[in-house]
Each structure stands twice: as C-alpha cells, then as structure tokens.
C-alpha cells in the first residue's frame, strides 16, 4: 500500500508510509489504478512501488471517508494471484453490481467490509487462524444476532449445538471458488505469463476442525534468526517432497473449542536442506521468463539461503471461512451432518473425536424406529379389533 516495509518498522512508521488513496479513492487500489492511469509503477534503487499520478483538485470530491467494500475488494478479491483464489469466498462476485444473497447475504444487503471489520485509528479488528492482524477487537456474529434461533428447532440448536458448533459451520456451507493447491516444481504458460501449476475448484465443501481461538504457526524467521522447520509426513498423494511443514493450523478439541469451517490449502515449495527452512521465490522471474531454477536461486541468494537444485517440501495452511453467509433457508440441515454409517455426511465425526458411535446410533435408530412404530400400530389395531 506504499513503499516496501521493513520488519523492524513501528506502526507509526508503517502508517506514515501508506498511500491513503488506496483505501479512500474508488478505482485507485489494486491493478485497476494502473489500468486507469491513476498511479504508475516506479523502480527506485531496484525496488518497485507505485506512485500516484493524479490531479488532487479533480479527485478531491471523490474521496471516501468510509471506504466501500468495492475499494477493499480491489486488493483482497485478487490476492494470491487471481480472482477469488486465496481467501475463501472473497472474489469479484462481491462487487456491488454483481453480488446476490446467494453469494453473501451481508454484502447483498448493502453492508461494507468496515461494518464488521471496524477500524480504530487505522487499526483493524479481525482474528483468524491465517491472519496476522491483532490490532483491535474483532467482530462476532452474536454482536448483531443476539438470539437468532426461534421455536422448537431454535431451542434444540441453542441447547445442543451452539456450545460446540460455530455459526459459520452451518451458515457457510460452501466455498464458491478457490485454489486448493499450487506446485512450484511445475511451471506452465498461462496465455499472458508463466506461472506455477494450480488447482482451482468451485462449490467446495469446507474442511472442519476444532478451534479455540489459538493456532499452531510456523515462521521461517523469528526476531531476525532462522527458525528450523520440523518436517512431518506429507499428505496422502503428495509425492517427491522431503516432508510437510504446517504453516497455520487451528488448535482446539471437544473440551476446548468449537467446530469451524476452513479451506485447507497446500503448496510445493523449494527447501534449504542446510538451514532447514523453505526458500522464498522471486516469482517475477517466473512470470516473465518461466525459468523456475533462476527464480528460486535468486530468492535464496536474497534471503541468504541455499538451494541444492532438487529439494522441495509441502507447506500447508488452514484459511478461516467467515465470508459467504447464505440465506437461512440454505443453511445446513440435520442430515447434512448426521446420518447412518451407510450414507455420506460432511462432518468427519471420527476425526473430530466422536468416533463411530453417532453414525451407528443414527443408523440403528433409522432401522428400528419404523419397526417399533409399525409394531405399536399393529398391537393397537389387534387390541381394538379384539
């Protein structure tokens, strides 16, 4: 949002370096500002950044005191190198002229990002397994929805589900479109540039995990010192890697936490076998030339690392799923999660710690309940007849 930051920057220094127009001028942020000529890329001592190219008097009347969601989306909808590929359910489909309630009921109702992500002195409130801002108080569903469930069904949900099930689990049943993995070993031409192999899918069922607000986090460097990774067993089907690094992962269990929905993502990245850390890639070299090895070696050199020309690891992360709330009629129902052992249901009850008992009990109930009811009806019929 300004010139490249430094790890040792204070909040005040970083804030002073931010280009205010990114958030407060519609059409300026992201790549759109370059296309419309409102800003230009500038190379300063080998480092690129954007500089404004505007007449302040002409745009003064267009300044927004409260940034609209369309301004936020110019950056956040396209993070990760494409439309909707990184943050689940954040895409160009949320722009004002496109969004419908079947994409996101809050956005379709005219809400802006800052209605939930409240700012205090430019510090934003948010919390997630995969986000790093912890500057202000995050929003919660129950800040607005005090007692959302009504009637007998509502009583059952309030007493048997809300203690262990997060609102998002039932009310965000699908990830409309997102990237699930990328592989930096395999480079291919994408029509206008070179890029890594990626898997992008639509209508994805989320991954479900217990979460108590804490997380497992790996950082390649802490306080300026390299942090050696502890390699785990790769995911099933991932081959040709030395192991797996868990970048972010929710922490929690049945006694401490709720079941939340996530997007699970993994990437194959180069690895420094001397220092035992992943290697950053100079992706601009790949985009321009398709030369993978040159890009990896340039990234290793810039970070003071070493690459042997062949070592890669899997690195995985869980993305929080908070956007894309659907109309209440499309929330999950009982049989979406609960069912007999012979049916498919989305919650991995065994992995979540419930074992096989719920599926067995539900199945036996489905088998014997009709038999008991039929037997009771036949008994009453025979008694009346006699």
pLDDT digits (tens, 9 = 90+) for 32-90: 777 777 878 787 776 777 777 877 777 777 888 889 999 999 889 999 988 999 999 99
> What mean pLDDT, rounded, does the chain reach?
88
Lowest mean pLDDT among 37-41, 134-138, 372-376: 134-138
What gap in Å lies between CA 335 and CA 134, rounded to an integer? 37
For residue 356, give both structure tokens.
């096989």
**Given a cut of 70, is residue 133 above it in pLDDT?**
no
Residue 123 DSSP class: E
pTM recorded for the entire structure: 0.86
Burial environment of residue 352 by CB neighbours within 10 A (0 to 12, 13 to 18, 19 or more) = middle
Task: Judge whether 223 and 237 are in contact, CB under 8 Å.
Answer: no
Angle at 137 between CA 135 and CA 141, to 5 degrees: 135
**Given a cut of 60, is residue 4 above it in pLDDT?**
no
Number of helical H runs and strand E runs in the chain = 13, 14
Confidence bin at 219 (pLDDT 50/70/90)? very high
For residue 154, give both structure tokens.
């509502």
What gap in Å lies between CA 286 and CA 198, rounded to an integer? 14
User: Is the sign of the CA dihedral 103, 109, 114, 117 positive or negative?
Assistant: negative
What gap in Å lies between CA 293 and CA 270, rounded to an integer? 10
Q: Mean pLDDT: which of 3-12, 19-28, 120-129, 325-334 is highest? A: 325-334
Mean pLDDT of 366-379: 82
pLDDT score recorded for residue 36 = 76
Q: Torsion-angle region of residue 52: left (phi > 0), alpha (psi -120 to 50) or beta?
A: beta
Residue 256 DSSP class: B
pLDDT score recorded for residue 228 = 96
Lowest mean pLDDT among 325-329, 350-354, 366-370: 366-370
Contact partners, residue 335, CB within 8 Å, separation at least 6: 345
What gap in Å lies between CA 307 and CA 299, rounded to an integer? 10
CA-derived radius of gyration, the chain? 25
| CB atoms inside a 10 Å sphere around CB 356 | 10
CA within 13 Å, CB half, 262: 24
Please write the tens of the pLDDT for every residue from 242-284. Answer: 999 999 999 999 999 999 999 999 999 999 999 999 999 999 9
Count Cβ neighbours within 10 Å for each residue of 321-350 and write b for 16 or more, e otherwise.
Answer: bbbbbbeeeeebeeeebebbeeeebebebe
Mean pLDDT of 160-177: 94
The torsion angles phi and psi of 270, rounded to 5 degrees, stand at: -70, 155
- Characterize the bridge pairing of strands 194-204 and 175-189: antiparallel
What gap in Å lies between CA 228 and CA 233, rounded to an integer? 16
3-class state of residue 204 by DSSP: strand
pLDDT score recorded for residue 44 = 76
Contacts within 8 Å (CB) and 24+ apart, 143-152: none
What gap in Å lies between CA 85 and CA 98, rounded to an integer? 18
**Given a cut of 70, is residue 343 above it in pLDDT?**
no
Residue owning tokens 């869980």? 318
- Hey, which bits of 206-356 come out as E strands? 207-211, 214-217, 221-222, 225-226, 244-251, 258-272, 277-278, 312-320
Residue owning tokens 């460097």? 221
Task: Judge whether 115 and 143 are in contact, CB under 8 Å.
Answer: no
């Amino acid at each position: 949002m300004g010139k490249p930051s430094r790890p040792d920057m204070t909040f005040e220094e970083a804030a002073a370096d931010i280009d205010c127009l990114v958030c407060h001028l519609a059409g300026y942020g992201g790549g759109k500002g370059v296309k419309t000529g409102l800003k230009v890329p500038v190379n300063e001592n080998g480092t690129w950044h954007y500089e404004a190219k505007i007449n302040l008097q002409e745009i003064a009347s267009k300044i927004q005191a409260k940034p609209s969601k369309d301004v936020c989306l110019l950056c956040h909808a396209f993070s990760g190198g494409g439309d909707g590929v990184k943050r689940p359910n954040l895409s160009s489909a949320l722009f004002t002229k496109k969004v419908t309630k079947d994409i996101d009921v809050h956005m379709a109702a005219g809400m802006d990002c800052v209605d939930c992500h409240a700012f205090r002195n430019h510090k934003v409130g948010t919390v997630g397994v995969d986000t790093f801002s912890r500057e202000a108080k995050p929003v919660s569903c129950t800040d607005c929805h005090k007692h959302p469930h009504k009637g007998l069904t509502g009583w059952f949900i309030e007493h048997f589900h809300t203690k262990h099930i997060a609102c998002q689990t039932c009310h965000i049943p699908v990830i409309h479109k997102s990237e699930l993995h990328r592989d930096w070993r395999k480079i291919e031409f994408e029509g206008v540039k070179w890029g890594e192999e990626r898997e992008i899918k639509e209508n994805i069922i989320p991954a479900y995990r217990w979460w108590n607000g804490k997380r497992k986090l790996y950082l390649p460097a802490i306080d300026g010192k390299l942090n050696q990774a502890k390699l785990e067993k790769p995911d099933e089907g991932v081959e040709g890697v030395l192991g797996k690094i868990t970048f972010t992962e929710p922490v929690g269990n049945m006694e401490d936490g709720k079941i939340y929905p996530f997007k699970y993502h993994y990437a194959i990245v180069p690895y420094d076998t001397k220092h035992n850390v992943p290697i950053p890639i100079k992706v601009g070299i790949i985009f321009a030339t398709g030369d993978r090895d040159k890009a990896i070696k340039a990234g290793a050199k810039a970070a003071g690392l070493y690459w042997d020309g062949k070592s890669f690891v899997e690195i995985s992360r869980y993305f929080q799923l908070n956007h894309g709330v659907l109309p209440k009629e499309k929330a999950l129902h009982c049989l979406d999660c609960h069912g007999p052992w012979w049916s498919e249901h989305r919650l991995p009850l065994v992995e979540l710690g419930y074992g096989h008992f719920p599926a067995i009990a539900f199945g036996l109930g489905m088998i014997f309940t009709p038999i008991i009811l039929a037997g009771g009806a036949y008994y009453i019929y025979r008694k009346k007849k006699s």
